[in-house]
Amino acid sequence: MDLKNKRVTVMGLGLHGGAVGTIAWLVRQGASVLATDLKTEAELAPSLERLRKELGRKFKNVQFVLGVHREEDFRLTDMVVRNPAVPRKSKYLQIAHEAGIPIEMDSSLFFAACAALGATDIIGITGSKGKTTCTKVLAALLQAEDEEAHLVEVGTDGVSPLAELKHITPETTVVFELSSWRLEALAERKISPPVAVITSLYRDHLNTYESFEEYIETKQTIFRFQKKNGQVVLNADDAQLRAHDLETPGKRFWFSMRELPADAEGIFVRDGAVVIRLEGAESVLFPVHSIALPHEHERRNVLPGILLAYLREVRLKDIARGVRALERLPHRLETVREVQEVRYINDSAATMPDATIAALRSLAGERIVHILGGGDKALQFEELANAEAASVIRALIWLPGTATANMRAALKQAFGDAAPPAYEVATMPEAVQRATELAQPGDVVLLSPGATSFGLFLHEFDRGEQFRAAVDPL
């Protein structure tokens, strides 16, 4: 794809950092880039500073239209590149479409560039939750035998796919975390990675999709256009993945924390041991407690990495060593500190009810002061409310947001007359202060919001960092 002297409108600069790599790559391809975002220059200051450092003197070659989108920027251009967070039904994208302007994303540009480079070994990982852990684990295990193995990991928090192209050769294995938004662009180009993993399907982003079925349909892009020699690894413990009769063109494997049906191939746990079954033959690998991450949902997300490393003939002793060395990712049931026998746990990546339910189950039997609430994604909270009622909740501390009222109503109904005390706060420091006043020795102060961070925080990682910052001085 020749972009020299092409006019490219980048829609959405954002604050996660991915668009910085996209813009820098486009500039280095010789494109004339215009970046536009509804956020103001002040709001986008961190991303603008990163881009300034990345591009140096070439920064002046980028034109910015901030605080507004202009229709002409989507009509009088050669290409539009939309940030993953931009809704595909945006009226500005419709203007570009009607004008015959091609619309790309970093994912579609990345796959096209890899094809041009002859890099075809791409493993794609998606899921409502668990995809980042799965991506990180797989990348680590594929390098467990040889740390110099030619592997590139992209798509995880703040890692721009296009920025990593300079490291890719025909021999490179790419491990790509693919959100539903990035899959939308691949669907339009009828592209699937030759190896795919789906970790889970929960109700999520229903403020973006018209229905849960449309969301599931988008997720299936990860394997829909595979060839017959493709591979897909699916979560057998996920009710939605079991219920949908998925038509997979290639070889299908399953993973589960329980024994798989006799006719299913894949990886599972039986009698406390990790077992792989391929073509009817079983191999017992090691005890499941060898996996350093302690909670069931975390260990489940490790299983696809073990299976794919095994299929790629990574030595078993290296896989075993790799899973023993795993560390929990930030903002995912992360113990920040223990102060006066009270544990402070940062689970800010729980941006949906199902993730918070998993956190509550992981802490079953422990007394919890729960910080929750935030922005709405048109989700339902009844199952979360039931999980709260089944937990030992000392108090609820509510962060402001468009979802908070609906969450409170659902919890009130689930608790009935046994509702714990509830408090409203305006900031994270206030939430931590109130939680500290309420917690008793042996308690857990849990930040697991079950909602997005929009409004009060830059993103879920900023929310987690603010929690850490408030806990550190205690």
pLDDT digits (tens, 9 = 90+) for 57-103: 999 999 999 999 999 999 999 999 999 889 888 999 999 999 999 99
The pLDDT value given to residue 301: 98
| Model pLDDT, residue 235 | 97
Given this model, what pLDDT does residue 455 score? 79
The model's pLDDT over 277-319, given as tens digits with 9 standing for 90+, comes to 999 999 999 999 999 999 999 999 999 999 999 999 999 999 9
pLDDT band at 209 (very low <50, low <70, confident <90, very high): confident
What average pLDDT does the segment 248-276 reach? Answer: 97
Please, what is the average pLDDT of the chain?
Answer: 95
What strands, in cross-sheet order, belong to the sheet with 334-339?
Answer: 334-339, 342-346, 444-447, 367-372, 392-398, 422-424
Tokens 């419709």 — which residue?
Answer: 94
Instruction: Read off the pLDDT of each residue in 226-254 and give the average, rounded to a whole number.
Output: 93
Cβ neighbourhood burial of 392 (10 Å; 0-12, 13-18, 19+)? middle
Sheet strands (E) in 204-296: 231-235, 251-256, 266-270, 273-278, 281-287
Average pLDDT over residues 195-217: 87
Q: What is the pTM of this model?
A: 0.93
> Span 135-157, mean pLDDT?
90
Q: Is the pLDDT of residue 160 over 90?
A: no
Beta bridge partners of 277: 266, 282
pLDDT score recorded for residue 206? 67
Rounded to 5°, angle at Cα 42 from 36 and 43: 70
For position 1, what pLDDT does the model report?
A: 82
Whether 439 contacts 362, CB under 8 Å:
no
39-48, 200-209, 445-454: lowest mean pLDDT where? 200-209
How much of the chain exceeds pLDDT 70, in percent? 100
Domains of the chain: 7-103 (3.40.50.720), 107-324 (3.40.1190.10), 334-471 (3.90.190.20)
Residue 89: exposed, middle, or buried by beta-carbon count in 10 A (0-12, 13-18, 19+)? Answer: exposed
Q: Is the pLDDT of residue 256 over 90?
A: yes
Q: Is the pLDDT of residue 128 over 80?
A: yes
Task: Give the per-residue pLDDT at 327.
Answer: 93
Residue 371 clears pLDDT 80, i.e. is over it: yes
Top mean-pLDDT range of 207-216, 243-252, 284-293 = 284-293
Instruction: Judge whether 222 and 193 are in contact, CB under 8 Å.
Output: yes
Residue 244 scores a pLDDT above 90: no
